[in-house]
Amino acid sequence: MAKADKGAVLTRLQGTARLTRTALASKLLAHGFYAGQDQIMISLDQEDGQTPGQLAARIGVRPPTVTKTINRLQTQGFVEKRASDSDARQAHVYLTETGRGAIRSIEKSLRKTEKQALKGLDKKDQKALLKLLARVEANLSGMIVEAEDEIEMEAEAAE
Q: 26 and 84 share a domain?
A: yes
Q: 136 and 146 share a domain?
A: yes
pLDDT of residue 110: 95
d(C-alpha 13, C-alpha 64), whole Å = 27
The model carries a pTM of 0.76
Q: 86 and 149 share a domain?
A: no
Is 111's pLDDT higher than 90? yes
Q: 42 and 103 share a domain?
A: yes
pLDDT of residue 2: 54
Q: 34 and 103 share a domain?
A: yes
Sequence-separated (6 or more) residues with CB below 8 Å from residue 128: none
Does residue 90 lie within any of the structural domains? Answer: yes
pLDDT band at 69 (very low <50, low <70, confident <90, very high): very high
The number of distinct structural domains making up the chain is 2
Q: Which domain holds residue 137?
A: 120-159
d(C-alpha 84, C-alpha 89), whole Å = 7
Q: 72 and 26 share a domain?
A: yes
The helix (H) or strand (E) run that includes residue 78 is none
Q: Average pLDDT for residues 28-40, to the nearest whole number?
A: 92
CATH code, domain with 89: 1.10.10.10
Does residue 145 lie within any of the structural domains? Answer: yes
